Amino acid sequence: MTRLIKQLGDRLGFDTYRNIVRPYRSITESEEDEKDLVEQLFELGEHAVYVEHANWVNFTQYDSPRPIYINMVRHPIQKVISAYYYQRHPLIFAQSLMRNPNKPMQTKKFFDTNFNDCVRKRVSPHCVFDAHNPFNGDWRRFSLHLCGNSEICTHFNSETTTQIAKMNVEREYAVVGSWEDTNVTLAVLEAYIPRFFTDATKVYYSNTKNFTINNVSHDTHLDKDVEEYLKSSFAFEIELYMFIKQRLYKQYIAVHKNEF
């Protein structure tokens, strides 16, 4: 998405900014951190796009105009599988060591264990999904990002967190799309935010390989027992995902209602 937005900016006359990747960050931001972010963003000017893995921030709380919020999601189970193998890709792991030299090295078993075995045997905290595991607070789930920085947003697989996230999606996000529905997402972005996404579909398909550089091939097969465990562990995440997909398709139908 960052690369696509950058190319659209070159065509449409706006600047694209990417955050500096920090070696470590907490799963929520303090009020002071939120205020700093708000001030930094509005120093960028009107015709700018900023890209970051960030939790929702209430800009009006800081007497600031609201930005145009967008986000991207994918199926929660596929997301966690992808995260598992992404973190174990040699190049990605090496880059994380460069950013954080204090990060511990891993054994060969860490890289060789497949996702099904890791979940079934609980050999790593990255494969245990319950409310008491601090790793469940990381970027692998999107209810946290859509809920915000309050303590309740850190609760894993929480009905309350999910409902807050749904409310924010409806009220605060112009578009929440998914690469699993590329054509629908790009069409909605073009229609709802033309200042920044005019011709997004044409640009994306003119050189698709340029926008998929972070793909890491991995096995997506799930054993039945592992799949059932994950469906239970991510029940509210899946509910939120389906809510977002329904909203996206409603937006698409609204855009193309005269064609049906």
Q: What is the pLDDT of residues 155-200, one digit of tens each?
A: 999 999 999 999 999 999 999 999 999 999 999 999 999 999 999 9
Whether residue 77 contacts residue 129, with contact meaning beta carbons closer than 8 Å, is answered with: no
Residues in the chain: 260
Output 1 or 124, whichever has higher pLDDT.
1
Residue 177: per-residue pLDDT: 97
Most distant CA atoms of the chain, gap in Å: 58
Question: What average pLDDT does range 230-242 have in this prediction?
Answer: 95
Whether residue 196 contacts residue 186, with contact meaning beta carbons closer than 8 Å, is answered with: no
Task: Report in angstroms the alpha-carbon separations of 59 from 65, 68, 99, 137, 151.
Answer: 6, 11, 30, 23, 18
Residue 141, φ and ψ in degrees, nearest 5: -120, 145
Binning pLDDT at 50, 70 and 90, where does residue 206 land?
A: very high
Task: Report in angstroms the alpha-carbon separations of 111 from 87, 91, 106, 129, 258.
Answer: 9, 12, 8, 20, 52
pLDDT digits (tens, 9 = 90+) for 77-134: 999 998 888 888 877 778 777 777 777 778 888 888 999 999 999 878 888 888 777 6
At 218, which CATH number? 3.40.50.300
Whether residue 142 contacts residue 240, with contact meaning beta carbons closer than 8 Å, is answered with: yes
**How far is the first Cα of the chain from the last one, in angstroms, to the nearest whole number?**
29
Residues assigned a catalytic role: 53
Q: In the chain, how many domains are there?
A: 1
For residue 216, pLDDT beyond 80? no
Residue 143, φ and ψ in degrees, nearest 5: -60, -35
Q: Provide CB contacts within 8 A for 171, sequence distance 6+.
A: none
Distance separating alpha carbons of residues 139 and 191, to the nearest angstrom:
29
Distance separating alpha carbons of residues 226 and 91, to the nearest angstrom:
28
Domain span at residue 214? 2-259
Please state the separation of Cα 243 from the chain's center in Å: 16
Distance separating alpha carbons of residues 6 and 18, to the nearest angstrom:
10
Binning pLDDT at 50, 70 and 90, where does residue 255 land?
A: very high
Binning pLDDT at 50, 70 and 90, where does residue 240 land?
A: very high
